[in-house]
Amino acid sequence: MSTVRTNTFKKSIMHVGEMASGAKLTVPVYSFKSGKNNAPSVYVQANMHGAEVQGNAVIFQLLELLKSADIQADITFVPYANPVACNHKNGEYTLGRFDPITGVNWNRMYHFDEAVIAPFAEQYLHANEADICADFKKLLLNEIEEKLDDHIWGLTTGQRIAYQLQRLAHQADLVLDLHTGPISSKHLYCPEYAQESASFFDIEHTILIPNGFDGAMDEATFCPWWSLQQAFKGLGRNFVMGEGAFAKESFTVELGSQEQIDLEVAKEDATSILSYLQHKGVIVSADKSLQTYLPKEMTRYACYLKDYKALYSPMGGMVDYLAEFGKPLSAGEPLVRILRMDNYGVSEGANEEGEQDHNSEPLHYVSLDHTVLPILHFASASVNQGTELYKVFSKYFEL
Amino acid sequence: MSTVRTNTFKKSIMHVGEMASGAKLTVPVYSFKSGKNNAPSVYVQANMHGAEVQGNAVIFQLLELLKSADIQADITFVPYANPVACNHKNGEYTLGRFDPITGVNWNRMYHFDEAVIAPFAEQYLHANEADICADFKKLLLNEIEEKLDDHIWGLTTGQRIAYQLQRLAHQADLVLDLHTGPISSKHLYCPEYAQESASFFDIEHTILIPNGFDGAMDEATFCPWWSLQQAFKGLGRNFVMGEGAFAKESFTVELGSQEQIDLEVAKEDATSILSYLQHKGVIVSADKSLQTYLPKEMTRYACYLKDYKALYSPMGGMVDYLAEFGKPLSAGEPLVRILRMDNYGVSEGANEEGEQDHNSEPLHYVSLDHTVLPILHFASASVNQGTELYKVFSKYFEL
Amino acid sequence: MSTVRTNTFKKSIMHVGEMASGAKLTVPVYSFKSGKNNAPSVYVQANMHGAEVQGNAVIFQLLELLKSADIQADITFVPYANPVACNHKNGEYTLGRFDPITGVNWNRMYHFDEAVIAPFAEQYLHANEADICADFKKLLLNEIEEKLDDHIWGLTTGQRIAYQLQRLAHQADLVLDLHTGPISSKHLYCPEYAQESASFFDIEHTILIPNGFDGAMDEATFCPWWSLQQAFKGLGRNFVMGEGAFAKESFTVELGSQEQIDLEVAKEDATSILSYLQHKGVIVSADKSLQTYLPKEMTRYACYLKDYKALYSPMGGMVDYLAEFGKPLSAGEPLVRILRMDNYGVSEGANEEGEQDHNSEPLHYVSLDHTVLPILHFASASVNQGTELYKVFSKYFEL
Amino acid sequence: MSTVRTNTFKKSIMHVGEMASGAKLTVPVYSFKSGKNNAPSVYVQANMHGAEVQGNAVIFQLLELLKSADIQADITFVPYANPVACNHKNGEYTLGRFDPITGVNWNRMYHFDEAVIAPFAEQYLHANEADICADFKKLLLNEIEEKLDDHIWGLTTGQRIAYQLQRLAHQADLVLDLHTGPISSKHLYCPEYAQESASFFDIEHTILIPNGFDGAMDEATFCPWWSLQQAFKGLGRNFVMGEGAFAKESFTVELGSQEQIDLEVAKEDATSILSYLQHKGVIVSADKSLQTYLPKEMTRYACYLKDYKALYSPMGGMVDYLAEFGKPLSAGEPLVRILRMDNYGVSEGANEEGEQDHNSEPLHYVSLDHTVLPILHFASASVNQGTELYKVFSKYFEL
């Protein structure tokens, strides 16, 4: 007979900065210490970008569902990861993709110094796997601690936040950074080597990313390990990424559209994440009373990062977004219809500058010359020439 | 046998301001001169608030549909009425409710000076109706011209735009100002005396507004006439609002949600407006080849402005908006569910300041003590304490 | 022999709201209880507008100077009065004049309901002065409490902050709201009846304001009393404003330019305020060891609010501000020189639209037709047509 | 006897984009064709960052001064280079360092593809210098044309502007990009190889930058040539940077503080630029009637880019900036004094969270451990923890 589990996540408060008034910027951290070491440890954060709030609801549902789970590893949850972004309004919306002072994307400020890889690989060429794993993790954490300890020139606001989150993330084996698109279908950023894991999420679209560091949380946590594995390989010692000491995986989970909270959908997404965690052994359901989390059956599509393309508007105007997410759009089919009322009735003659403008129609359609899979589109109908209209899988394949 | 009509709207460009670089702020004006005087003249503008773009698409569809209509009066269309607001981005969204420099709502800068009413009424107490109509219109236009001619202290950016639009609007008998809510059902602001006209729009919800001037376009165009009619009444001469010299009506048409263009829905809204204009005789369909525009059958609800209430958030948090628009929501039923992840697991003990907080639950429901009809809600899930959550008909009745 | 005084101000924390993340908005309150009742009590706040920070430094210096003063009344200081505005950045600057969501000026949300005046005056027509004073204060506080207790529709973010500040202010007899202009000389908003007090501040320019309530803190605290005095007068009972029960004064003190902290200048401003407070008997210096605060000798100019005029830019462009603050500028002398590089070399022929533009010179001068006293100018060289360039005393006189 | 010259710069209008309303983004281009080829050609632009307007005034003064100069080469001036940034207000200030939609710095979007260098060097290893110069310029222009011709995925708003400016810049030998700091002394970014030229500007502080491309205009125009020279060197052929085919120089000229126009100071800066151009032979003054432009005598200091350091605020607060620009500041001397009113009176006991905070003083001083030369500071007194306070020459030497 099973007893009711009531796993308790300990809440602590992390200070990540201060505002001009002296107000402290704090982030709640929920952590569960399993006392076991049977499975990879987990780190999940949400809301690094201010408008991308749904991940907070997913963490809520994860906490609720995990109350009665059999947890085999340490788990840490950080909702509201970026209190500056999260609370920054301009008009009704949340201006949260970048530091409002500097314009720097909040998710491009994590740290990875490629220079540490080669020396470590050489030094540990003949070390055992456990030591490699432990000491490399220690090295990564030391790097972050040193950054946080710089008392001379200091850190930027975003670095101070990012490094403190990264310090938590480096302690885990599996890292999930919960984001959303602007108006978007669900999709997953997954390192190329972890492609198999993508099938355990209830997400139809996966972007496979290479070992290039561009400052994001997922890259900051898997690139060091991947780079290390490659350095060892160059020295003649082969490890398999995703296994043993290198059983590290990081994902950016794009939960749909920004500026929205939906607790029902959040429960589905929590279930999807638990399906991945159960696959990894983080939760087990040997006990019949416990829920089993299995991935849904669906056709999953993948696309290499280089083929995940943004389409920029060829003109200013007001956009009727026509292409549906996740449905292949044939060559020549319009993605958008752009309204240009200022051109109404002008095409028949000259425009106000006395020149004939080639694009002077009130409606303008934009299509591509090959089939694509639309994933997300811009959040507003009003676009400038050069505003990103859609992001699409330009080439893709079944996962 | 009917011939195909191809009414042509003449396009002109109105200069409404200049930016710092010297760039001219221009607004396209589409006007049709019927050469007849059989019906009230019409003025329709859109996009005074930057994010409220759907009206531009409605004007597009009106222009398309009117190509083949039998038009009995002058009609003027002004899309993109406010080029500053329309092009002002902050992040992905359009910050367009207020002047970004001053914070003043763009739709609170029109002009009406109550002081002109009494003297005019006294002077024209015994005048014939045609003179009253013509001379009062002239007076209103002169007022605007004087404002626009102030070469000493000048006008604010918003006044210069508003007054130029108002100069066009004062020349018409029927004025439609096309707006949208944030995330919203369709609804109509209608002067109390024009209540009957509301039934000719395919809009379920009407807010009946009294004769109080608060700076908006609709008020700026009907309040002078209503005030004049009341002044005459005070002097013992009775006119009926909406008839004869006083056949003036102005509406703010709220077309749904902001930041969206949908040309199909715009066609429906154009048809709805044409139903109203056909009712007023602006277009006629004696000719069988022409389309007849009739209002849809639907239950229409009305609410007095004083009963159209905003609900402000009792707390900061992330909001799952639960109440559907247009469906009566019973007392006690939640409008919203507010997520407060920082409270998760805290309610059992003290919070970080060592005090027990009464609202320290991760989910908080907000309801009202009587039945309401939800009309619109805030555009973002993230709200501060005191952010407007919903606007509702607090008391309402069938129209 | 005098002992060293070390007056201690008690610090408390006032909760004025919550952000989306649940972060509490707090305001520090420093209060001194004299235990005496020999002089009017004092309330001083700063930084209601986000960029207007110098008042915080002035409060710092007041606290330092008052450590060793002989204080005869209760004093309350509130720096950082508006934590939303104070911490809201857009680019490098602080967007703090209005709520970034709604555009409403933070200093237009205080409360005063004219409707309470007449009934109170009638009821207390024959009451003694002490009762009038005590009961009217109670009435004002009750009004605020009721507002803060609205648990049905709630308050806006700004109202919740404003009302809590106003609750503190209503308890004092003398209220100072510390602001700054954009780029500005020091100036003082003073109720007309308190004109004599203006001479005790070291501020050359005073704007005399009438008894009209427009939502600002100074008005919200003196208008009720002035209105009551006038109501009594209408009923045949005469009180003198500024004396006895009506010894209430409120000022908005404009300390210079925004976005700046200067602790040395702040000390001068603190001294100036102490000169006013010593005049009112709030501090005394009978004891020879104590500092005496006397106003500096200077020519002080005053201007009625109706003559305090804004000059709006007649064109877009980039502005070289020429007129010095506080020095009379003769008719015809330029306030600004506006650069319009896009016009360079154009005046000789037609502009790009093929029309000859009257203003097509690269440099444009703006002057007025009578002598004015410039007080402040816009914070940026880049202006749109209609941006406020300068505020000036259009008519003025020696105080 | 000399005749009065009246050189005429031809004005043309360059279309660089469109806004949502269809409004065209245009940039005025002033060009002078000398018909001679005696000296290097010149490109000068201003106002790529919206708030950095003083360069427009400098171009105005250059145009005025050059009317009567003896010009030996083609010169192009582009004021208002970025019409989006230039016209984008948030509150009173101009939010112009980055695209308000994406956050990307407008001066990080120019193009340089390192990959073209090696093949060109190999192909032209034995070519004559004139061909190298002409064909490499052609290659750079072709690269830009191809980018501008991408009709499939399109360009971002900023790229479309940047590439069109770069197309003009690549046609010149000498490129000056006029910027300003936030609140700043004048300083110059100069390629290391062009160090000698820095002495011809009346600017005391020069930052010497290496051959690394980070997206800025100056780099985008000199890095290709420097890289090519180094590639040739690697192949055994030596050219001297700054001479012959490689007589290319690019500077970012920082004219002082942003948000300001001062036409008098602009004249001094124009004179300083003409001193550099006269040194390069672009203008000559053989004719006695013409003005001779010589650099002022002053001690000039230089600093390598790696030693040009930003100091980030160790805490949130309100900053009294103490360090003067251009004066060596000794180790231990404070750069800033940070006011933290919320800490007033707290240091003696515990803070509100019940913990003793180490930094809980109302005034906090920040200094460095070695002598530095302060160059600029942040534009606002209000800073978050991590906001850039100052930029300083950490190591420097006389030029």
The pLDDT tens digits of the residues spanning A148-161 come to 998 899 999 999 99
Residue numbers of B between 331 and 370 with CB closer than 8 Å to A: 337, 339, 341-342, 344-346, 352, 362-363
What residues have CB less than 8 Å from A348, skipping those under 6 apart?
none
What are B360-385's pLDDT values in tens digits? 789 999 999 999 999 999 999 999 99
What is the rounded average pLDDT of the residues D162-183?
Answer: 98
pTM of the model: 0.96
User: What is the overall mean pLDDT for chain A?
Assistant: 94
Q: CA A265 to CA B313: how far, in whole Å?
A: 23
pLDDT of residue B346: 65
Kindly determine whether residue B56 and residue A341, on different chains, have CB atoms separated by under 8 Å.
Answer: yes
CA C312 to chain B, closest CA, distance in angstroms equals 5
CA B186 to chain D, closest CA, distance in angstroms equals 24
Beta-bridged to residue D188, according to DSSP, are D206, D253
* Residue B356: band (very low, low, confident or very high) from pLDDT cuts 50, 70, 90: very low
Residue pair A252/A43 in contact (Cβ under 8 Å)? The answer is no
Q: CA B202 to CA D345: how far, in whole Å?
A: 64
| Residue D100 token pair | 């308000």
What residues have CB less than 8 Å from C224, skipping those under 6 apart?
C112, C116, C117, C136, C140
Nearest to B21 among D20, D80, D354 (CB): D80
Q: Is D110 helix (H, G, I), strand (E, B) or coil?
A: coil
pLDDT of residue A346: 65
What are D45-103's pLDDT values in tens digits? 999 999 999 999 999 999 999 999 999 999 999 999 999 999 999 999 998 899 999 99
**Pairs from B324-329 (Cβ < 8 Å, separation ≥ 24):** B324/B374, B325/B184, B325/B185, B325/B374, B325/B375, B325/B376, B326/B185, B326/B204, B326/B205, B326/B373, B326/B374, B326/B375, B327/B373, B327/B374, B328/B371, B328/B372, B328/B373, B329/B368, B329/B371, B329/B372, B329/B373, B329/B374, B329/B392
pLDDT of residue C204: 98
Q: CA B331 to CA B344: how far, in whole Å?
A: 28
Calculate the dihedral angle through the C-alpha atoms of D379, D382, D383, D389, rounding to the nearest 10 degrees.
40
Q: Is C284 helix (H, G, I), strand (E, B) or coil?
A: strand
Nearest to D353 among B20, B83, B353 (CB): B353
What are C293-326's pLDDT values in tens digits? 999 999 999 999 999 999 999 999 999 999 999 9
Is B349's pLDDT higher than 50? no
| Residue of chain B nearest C154, judged by CA positions | B312
What is the rounded average pLDDT of the residues C243-260?
Answer: 97
Tell which residue, B61, B59, B66, has the closest CA to residue B5: B66
pLDDT of residue C348: 44
Kindly determine whether residue B100 and residue D91, on different chains, have CB atoms separated by under 8 Å.
Answer: yes
Q: Which helix (H) or strand (E) holds C89?
A: strand C89-90
Contacts of B23 in chain D (CB under 8 A): 23, 25-26, 83, 87
A80 close contact with B: CB closer than 8 A: yes
Is C340's pLDDT higher than 90? yes
User: C-alpha angle A341/A345/A351, rounded to 5°?
Assistant: 90
Residue pair B200/B294 in contact (Cβ under 8 Å)? The answer is no
Q: CA C258 to CA A123: how far, in whole Å?
A: 57
Higher pLDDT, C356 or C14: C14
User: C-alpha angle B208/B209/B212, rounded to 5°?
Assistant: 170
Residue pair A9/A73 in contact (Cβ under 8 Å)? The answer is no
pLDDT of residue A2: 46
* Chains with at least 3 CB pairs less than 8 angstroms from chain D: A, B, C
Beta-bridged to residue C301, according to DSSP, are C205, C398
Tell which residue, D225, D223, D259, D267, has the closest CA to residue D65: D267
Residue pair C293/C382 in contact (Cβ under 8 Å)? The answer is no
* Residue C329: band (very low, low, confident or very high) from pLDDT cuts 50, 70, 90: very high
A-B Cβ pairs (cutoff 8 Å, strict):
152
pLDDT of residue B291: 86
Q: CA D270 to CA D293: how far, in whole Å?
A: 10
Question: What is the helix, strand, coil percentage profile of chain A, to 5?
Answer: 30, 25, 45
pLDDT of residue D359: 54
CA B89 to chain D, closest CA, distance in angstroms equals 6
Q: Is D369 helix (H, G, I), strand (E, B) or coil?
A: coil
Nearest to D18 among A97, A316, A388 (CB): A316
User: What is the overall mean pLDDT for chain C?
Assistant: 94
- Measured CA to CA in angstroms, residue D273 lies from C34, D39, D126, D177 at distances of 65, 15, 37, 11
- Measured CA to CA in angstroms, residue B72 lies from A7, A311, B172, B221 at distances of 75, 45, 13, 22
Contacts of D90 in chain A (CB under 8 A): 90
Q: CA D284 to CA D280: how far, in whole Å?
A: 9
| Residue B33 token pair | 């001169």
Kindly determine whether residue D88 and residue B91, on different chains, have CB atoms separated by under 8 Å.
Answer: no
What is the rounded average pLDDT of the residues B307-323?
Answer: 98
Contacts of A351 in chain C (CB under 8 A): none
Kindly determine whether residue B91 and residue A89, on different chains, have CB atoms separated by under 8 Å.
Answer: no
B243 close contact with C: CB closer than 8 A: no
Nearest to D60 among C86, C93, C339 (CB): C339
Lowest mean pLDDT among A346-350, C24-28, C287-291, D337-341: A346-350
Tell which residue, A165, A144, A188, A5, has the closest CA to residue A77: A165
What residues have CB less than 8 Å from C179, skipping those under 6 apart?
C48, C49, C52, C55, C107, C252, C253, C254, C255
Kindly determine whether residue A23 and residue C20, on different chains, have CB atoms separated by under 8 Å.
Answer: no
Q: Where are the alpha helices (DSSP H) in chain C?
A: 54-66, 83-86, 117-123, 129-148, 157-169, 217-234, 263-279
CB atoms within 10 A of CB D75: 27
Kindly determine whether residue C155 and residue B312, on different chains, have CB atoms separated by under 8 Å.
Answer: yes
**Given its phi and psi angles, is residue A150 left (phi above 0), alpha (psi -120 to 50 degrees) or beta?**
beta
Tell which residue, B61, B48, B40, B51, has the closest CA to residue B110: B48
CB atoms within 10 A of CB D236: 7
Lowest mean pLDDT among A313-327, B22-36, B45-59, D345-359: D345-359
Q: Is C277 helix (H, G, I), strand (E, B) or coil?
A: helix
Residue recorded with tokens 């080639």? A358
* Residue A383: band (very low, low, confident or very high) from pLDDT cuts 50, 70, 90: very high
Tell which residue, D222, D221, D220, D241, has the closest CA to residue D230: D241
D315 close contact with A: CB closer than 8 A: yes
Report CA D312 to chain centroid distance, whole Å.
Answer: 22
B57 close contact with D: CB closer than 8 A: no
Report CA D89 to chain centroid distance, whole Å.
Answer: 22
| Residue D7 token pair | 């050189």
Q: Is C343 helix (H, G, I), strand (E, B) or coil?
A: helix
What are D13-25's pLDDT values in tens digits? 999 999 999 999 9
Tell which residue, C108, D221, C74, has the closest CA to residue C66: C74
Is A303's pLDDT higher than 80? yes
